[in-house]
Chains A and B, each alone.
Chain A
Amino acid sequence: MSSDEKPGWKKLPMAATIAEPGSSLKYKTGDWRAFRPVVDEAKCVNCLLCWIYCPDSAIARREKTIAVNYDYCKGCGICAHECPKQAIKMEEEQK
Chain B
Amino acid sequence: MTVMGMTGDEAVAHAAKQSKVDIVAAYPITPQTIIVERFSKYVADGEVQTGYVCVESEHSALSACIGSSLTGARVFTATSSQGLALMHEMLYIASGLRLPIVMGVANRALSAPINIHGDHSDMMGSRDCGWIQIYVENAQEAYDWTIQAFKIAEDYEVQLPVSVNLDGFIITHCVEGVDVAEDDVVAKFVQTRKPLFKLDPQKPVTVGALCFTDYYYEFKRQQVDALSHVNAVLNRIAKEYKDATGRSYGILDAYGMEDAEAAVLCLGSTAGTAREVARKLRAQGKKVGVVKIWLYRPFPVDEIKAVLKNVKAVAVLDRAISFGAQYGALCSDVVSALHTVDNGPRIFNVIFGLGGRDIKPSDIELIFNQALETARSGVVKEETVFLGVRE
**A residues adjacent to B (C-beta < 8 A):** 3, 6-9, 12, 14-19, 21, 23, 31
Q: Flag if B211 contacts A16 (CB, 8 Å).
A: yes
Note all chain A residues with C-beta closer than 8 A to B213.
3
**B residues adjacent to A (C-beta < 8 A):** 96-98, 159, 196-197, 204-209, 211, 213-215, 218-219, 221-222, 225
Q: Flag if A15 contacts B205 (CB, 8 Å).
A: no
Contact sample, A vs B, 20 pairs, CB 8 Å cutoff = A3-B213, A7-B218, A9-B221, A9-B222, A9-B225, A12-B218, A14-B196, A14-B222, A15-B98, A15-B207, A16-B207, A16-B219, A17-B207, A17-B209, A18-B205, A18-B206, A18-B209, A19-B205, A21-B206, A31-B214
Note all chain B residues with C-beta closer than 8 A to A7.
218
The B interface, classified by DSSP as helix, strand, loop or mixed, is loop
Q: Flag if B98 contacts A14 (CB, 8 Å).
A: yes
CA–CA, A21 and B219, complex, Å: 20
What are the nearest 4 A-B pairs in CB distance?
A18-B206, A9-B218, A15-B98, A9-B221
CA–CA, A18 and B218, complex, Å: 15
Q: Beyond the given A14-B196, A18-B205, could you list 20 further A-B residue pairs with CB under 8 A, ordered by the A residue number?
A: A3-B213, A3-B214, A6-B215, A7-B218, A9-B225, A12-B222, A14-B98, A14-B159, A14-B222, A15-B96, A15-B222, A16-B209, A16-B211, A16-B215, A16-B219, A17-B205, A17-B209, A18-B206, A21-B206, A31-B214
Q: Flag if B219 contacts A15 (CB, 8 Å).
A: yes
CA–CA, A7 and B159, complex, Å: 22
Note all chain B residues with C-beta closer than 8 A to A19.
197, 205
